[in-house]
Amino acid sequence: MSAGGFGADVRLAGEGVVVRPFGMDDAAGYIEVLRAGEDWLPPNFPRELDAERLAWWFETGVHQPMRLGLGVHLAVVADGELAGTIGLFRVDWGQRTCEVGYGLRPRWRGRGHATAALRLVTGWALGGLGLHRVELRALTSNAASIRVAEKAGFLREGRARGAERTADGVQHDQFVFGRLATDPAAPGAPGRAAPLSSPGSAP
């Protein structure tokens, strides 16, 4: 794959999860999320139960950042169900850097799925996409996300003071983590995952 784009649709599998682009098959699970008022969705994901809007989103909207080379939103699937999302954003192909963010539905948390998805996507970014650095940020109070980052082999690099404004209207500190293509494998992690290309796509 040449630098500067995401190429064909990617499908990554391992450790009980599959990470792949969103599709209409995810609509039913997504509607469950909206009806339950779950709060893990990225800020730019739709939150209205509007059939026409959701159809456009799954068919076109969610894929636009990938097509433009700006980022990618991927579904995390476990046991055939939509368990969450993970994505790359602030992708800088010139500097070969990006950030990663993820969220899981409450009933899928605490099972290792976030760590598995993060390992898969980070391996893809640093391997198949040719990026050199993946950055991850987590609120200093978010112990679960901090554990996920560390288990996935990210190193804590510093503290960004007042970097995130939360719903309570207060600026909170974040820990900044990074993982480089040259870093050793994380303890207990499998080898770097290879993408399972969709039919007709290039590896």
| Tokens at 137, concatenated | 């940020």
Per cent of the chain over pLDDT 70 is 88
Domain ranges of the chain: 12-180
CA distance 13 to 167: 34
Q: What is the model's pLDDT at position 9?
A: 75
Q: Is the pLDDT of residue 92 over 80?
A: yes
Average pLDDT, the chain: 89
Q: Which fold has domain 12-180?
A: Aminopeptidase (3.40.630)
Q: What is the model's pLDDT at position 6?
A: 83
CA distance 120 to 97: 17
pLDDT in tens, 118-171: 999 999 999 999 999 999 999 999 999 999 999 999 999 999 999 999 888 999
Question: Cβ contacts of residue 113 below 8 Å, gap of 6+?
Answer: 15, 16, 17, 76, 78, 83, 84, 104
Checking 183-186 for CB contacts under 8 A at 24+ apart, the result is: 183/153, 183/155, 184/153, 185/153, 186/119, 186/151, 186/152, 186/153
Query: What pTM did the predictor assign?
Result: 0.88
Per cent of the chain over pLDDT 90 is 81
H helices, E strands: number in the chain: 5, 8
Q: What is the model's pLDDT at position 5?
A: 78
Query: What are the start-end ranges of the H helices in 82-172?
Result: 113-126, 143-151
pLDDT in tens, 41-80: 998 899 999 999 999 999 999 999 999 999 999 999 999 9
Tell the residue number behind the tokens 């500097």, with chain if given: 95
List of E strands, the chain? 12-14, 17-21, 72-78, 81-92, 97-104, 133-139, 155-165, 171-180
